[in-house]
Amino acid sequence: MSRILYTKETIQKRIAELGAEITQHYKGEEVVIVGVLKGAFIFMADLVRACNFPCTMDFLAVSSYGNSTTSSGNVKIVMDGKHVLIVEDICDTGLTLSYLLELLRARKPKSLEVCVFLQKSACLKATDLKLKWVGFQAEPVFVVGYGLDRAEEFRNLDYVGELKQEYYVKK
Ligand SMILES: O=P(O)(O)OC[C@H]1O[C@H](OP(=O)(O)OP(=O)(O)O)[C@H](O)[C@@H]1O
Ligand code: HPA
Ligand SMILES: [Mg+2]
């Protein structure tokens, strides 16, 4: 790890703000909160406890990075007239979220919104992607921690850091 980008305290403070905003937005409506596995599981666990409205939870299993630090371009999915809130750890190229939104729109939800922990705007490839809530705008570097992995490692860090290039680039 080369440097810490978001400390545990910074993350928790931002989640409290997001929870209050999302609670205000749905104002007691019933919502299905859909976490995108695996990366979103830690963010979702904290976010739902900062939200206060009737909700059920579900998860989608999606993977496009595998053990690589770049998107393979292929997203595989393993998983209805309700409000659906998708919770994701990161929007990098945006290809994963774009794919998921298209898929879930076909189910004709009452509403479909996204809350993403990190967004790397500089890396965006997907067009017409609307993210209603964004935790933090991240730099275009490979980040790990707080659910985010590099080859399944580092998900359990309670902070987010930049992964040093020498850890993942073979010389
Ligand atoms: O915006 P994109 O470029 O599509 O990248 C974002 C996606 O990549 C990561 O998933 P990954 O495939 O690593 O699966 P994981 O959540 O199990 O780590 C991350 O959790 C997002 O789902
Ligand atoms: O920067 C990242 N870190 C971990 N997983 C990711 N998936 C897309 N971008 C990233
Ligand atoms: Mg990953």
Displacement of CA 95 from its chain's centroid (Å)? 12
Probe target for ligand 1 pocket from 64, 78, 119, with the most ligand atoms within 8 Å of CB: 64
Residue 51 backbone dihedrals phi, psi, to 5 degrees? -105, 150
- Cα separation of 25 and 119, whole Å? 21
Residue 61 backbone dihedrals phi, psi, to 5 degrees? -100, 115
61-102, pLDDT tens digit by residue?
Answer: 777 788 888 888 876 554 467 899 999 999 999 999 999 999
Tell me whether strands 133-137 and 143-144 are parallel, antiparallel or unpaired: unpaired
30-52, pLDDT tens digit by residue?
Answer: 999 999 999 999 999 999 999 99
Q: What ranges do the domains of the chain cover? A: 3-162
Q: What pLDDT score was predicted for residue 1?
A: 66
Percent of the chain with pLDDT over 70: 94
Which numbered atom of ligand 1 lies nearest the CA of 99? 4
Nearest by Cα to 135 from 160, 118, 155: 118
Instruction: Give the tokens for residue 93.
Output: 């190229």
Closest residue to atom 22 of ligand 1, CA basis: 96
Q: For the residues 153-159, what does the mean pLDDT come to?
A: 96
Among the bound ligands, name the one nearest to the CA of residue 42.
1
Which numbered atom of ligand 2 lies nearest the CA of 65? 7
Residue 37 backbone dihedrals phi, psi, to 5 degrees? -75, 155
Closest residue to atom 13 of ligand 1, CA basis: 65
Q: ipTM of the predicted structure?
A: 0.96
65 C-alpha vs ligand 1 centroid, how far in Å?
6
The binding-site residues of ligand 1, defined as CB within 6 angstroms of any ligand atom, are 36-39, 62-65, 71, 88-96, 149
Which numbered atom of ligand 1 lies nearest the CA of 149? 18
Q: What pLDDT score was predicted for residue 124?
A: 93
Q: What is the CATH T-level fold of the domain 3-162, as seen in this structure? A: Rossmann fold (3.40.50)
